[in-house]
Amino acid sequence: MQYFAHLRALRFGGHAPLGRHPLPHPPFGHPLPEGEGRRIIAKLEKLIGEKILAWKAIGIFDSGVGGLTVLKEVVRTLPQEDTIYLGDTARVPYGTKSPETVIRYSRQIARYLLNRDIKLLVVACNTASAVALSALQQEFEIPIVGVIEPGARAAAAATRSGKVGVIGTAATVASSAYTKAIKRINPDIEVVNRACPLFVPLAEEGWVDNEVTRMTARIYLEDLKAQGVDTLVLGCTHYPILKDVIAQVMGPEVTLVDSAAETARTVAQILTEQGLLRPENERGNHHYFVTDIPAGFIRVGNRFLGGELGDVYQVSLEQDQEGGEGEETQ
């Protein structure tokens, strides 16, 4: 302790404090050069800060329940990490809202999750990723990951024929977000989009393997198959629930790109590069918040996560914006 007091003194001028005897030699055997104590303390503070930051949670948000497929992949990839999920169920869907409104909602949620001490934020909503991701990245200092870029990168890498299909909600398809992201990576890739709005209620109802779902998938996907796409992006966070049926319709020659899985891999890569991973022998805790009555979220969420959903709390983002952390009810 005496030695670290000595180092703190050196940080502010390079000398031991008055009234104390300077240590004759530091533990590593040589006197400290002028200012070296300050540099050592700075390094120690940086190291300690990184260690503390590594123990913070990963924040994930979506307009509703679909983002749980992203959370599921994050937990599968990084089981040692804590997560905090917020579903904005009071204001779902985002696809019908103006860009300005989606950005405002996304900022509110980001501030709420930052107040809960997260180290990385995942925007697990295709609409918010397309509209608000850039604004969030400019405003907040932590790493922020969307679901569109990871899926686009994987699709561009996977295609052999240069023809990629993208399925999503009507709003995501209308935004051309995946087309733009894929074209930024490789302008020569042809992108064919198809809106599949009925896939969302089918996934939420748990109709993942019946004739109604198979018939719907055939109707939606026959044109993409006829156009010869060899890679298909599941451009909605609900769609991984229907992956088996979609794969059956498209056939084994078509590679399915799960944006949720690709996003989880991107999260793991960022945390690894920044030294922010928790030890692998740890097991994370998972916390769930919604902005409306939790009953519907719990019913569908248990289906998405295989019955592993924990307690879900209702919060008020408007109250949080006024300066508190938001009122919670279970």
Name the residue ranges covered by the structural domains of the chain: 2-52, 56-147+262-329, 149-260
Q: What is the pLDDT of residues 156-200, one digit of tens each?
A: 999 999 999 999 988 889 889 999 999 999 999 999 999 999 999
Residue 210 in this model has a pLDDT that exceeds 70:
yes
Termini Cα distance of the chain: 46
What is the DSSP pairing of strand 312-315 with strand 328-329?
antiparallel
Is residue 196 annotated as part of the catalytic site, yes or no?
no
What is the structure's pLDDT at 319?
A: 63
Q: What is the pLDDT of residues 232-263, one digit of tens each?
A: 999 999 999 999 999 999 999 999 999 999 99
Q: Which segment, 32-36, 76-80, 128-132, is predicted with the most confidence on average?
A: 76-80
What is the structure's pLDDT at 3?
A: 40
CATH topology identical between 56-147+262-329 and 149-260: yes
| Contact of 232 with 154, CB cutoff 8 Å | no
pTM given for the model: 0.79
What is the structure's pLDDT at 7?
A: 38
Residue 86: alpha-carbon gap to chain centroid: 11
Residue 219 in this model has a pLDDT that exceeds 70:
yes
| Contact of 262 with 74, CB cutoff 8 Å | no
Amino acid at 148: I
Q: How confident is the model at residue 53 (pLDDT cuts 50, 70, 90)?
A: confident
Q: Comparing C-alpha atoms, which of 136, 192, 195 is closest to residue 165?
A: 192
Q: What are phi and psi of 18, to 5 degrees?
A: -60, 145
What is the structure's pLDDT at 27?
A: 52
What is the structure's pLDDT at 16?
A: 45
What is the structure's pLDDT at 26?
A: 53
CB atoms within 10 A of CB 176: 14
What is the structure's pLDDT at 17?
A: 45
Q: What number is the average pLDDT over the span 258-284?
A: 95
Is residue 125 annotated as part of the catalytic site, yes or no?
yes
The catalytically annotated residue of 32, 70, 155, 236 is 236
| CATH domain 56-147+262-329 topology | Rossmann fold (3.40.50)
CA distance 106 to 59: 13
CB atoms within 10 A of CB 221: 21
Buried b (16+ CB within 10 A) or exposed e, 297-323: bbebbebbbeeebeebebbbbeebeee
Tokens at residue 313, please?
A: 């709390």
Residue 11 in this model has a pLDDT that exceeds 60:
no
Tokens at residue 159, please?
A: 């295609």
Q: What number is the average pLDDT over the span 84-110?
A: 93
What is the structure's pLDDT at 330?
A: 59
CA distance 208 to 246: 10
Q: What is the pLDDT of residues 17-44, one digit of tens each?
A: 444 445 445 555 556 566 665 666 556 5
The catalytically annotated residue of 32, 125, 128, 164 is 125
Tokens at residue 299, please?
A: 């019913």
CA distance 197 to 199: 5
Residue 155 in this model has a pLDDT that exceeds 90:
yes
Sheet holding 255-258: strands in order across? 190-195, 163-168, 231-234, 255-258
CATH architecture for the domain at 149-260: 3-Layer(aba) Sandwich (3.40)
Residue 302 in this model has a pLDDT that exceeds 70:
yes
Spatial CB neighbours of 205, under 8 Å, sequence gap ≥ 6: none
Q: Can you list the pairs that 20-26 forms with residues at least 24 positions away whose Cβ atoms lie under 8 Å?
A: none
Q: What number is the average pLDDT over the span 199-216?
A: 92
